[in-house]
């Protein structure tokens, strides 16, 4: 039940995050007591991982766009009249 709640909250658009959620909730259940503070910490940890994944994807997209611009510039600068 806990896994499904975190998947619903964070993993809707992130298939990679689903495995992370499974692993973290499994570790949490074996190592920690089920308290409000511990659940908030787990929520923050999973939220931070989602943020990092989103940030990495944005950086990759920016770099790909930048390469496309640079490729366009280098191709036009190599053309001679």
Of residues 72 and 38, more confidently modeled: 38
Q: How far apart are CA 38 and CA 43, in angstroms?
A: 9
Alpha-carbon distances of 78 from 64, 65, 68, 70, 75, rounded to whole Å:
21, 20, 16, 12, 5
Confidence of residue 62 (pLDDT cuts 50, 70, 90): confident
Question: For the chain, how many residues are written?
Answer: 81
Average pLDDT over residues 13-20: 85
Determine the average pLDDT of the residues in 24-50. Answer: 94
What range does the domain containing 9 cover?
2-78
> Is pLDDT at 79 greater than 60 in this prediction?
no
Chain-wide mean pLDDT for the chain?
84
What share of the chain in percent tops pLDDT 70? Answer: 83
Q: How many structural domains are present in the chain?
A: 1
């Amino acid at each position: 039940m806990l896994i499904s709640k975190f998947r619903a909250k964070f993993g809707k658009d992130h298939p990679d995050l689903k495995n992370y959620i499974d692993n973290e909730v499994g570790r949490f259940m074996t190592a920690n007591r089920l308290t409000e503070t511990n659940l908030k910490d787990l929520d923050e940890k999973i939220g931070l991982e989602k943020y990092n994944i989103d940030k990495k994807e944005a950086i990759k997209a920016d770099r790909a766009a930048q390469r496309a611009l640079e490729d366009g510039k280098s191709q036009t600068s190599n053309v001679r009249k």
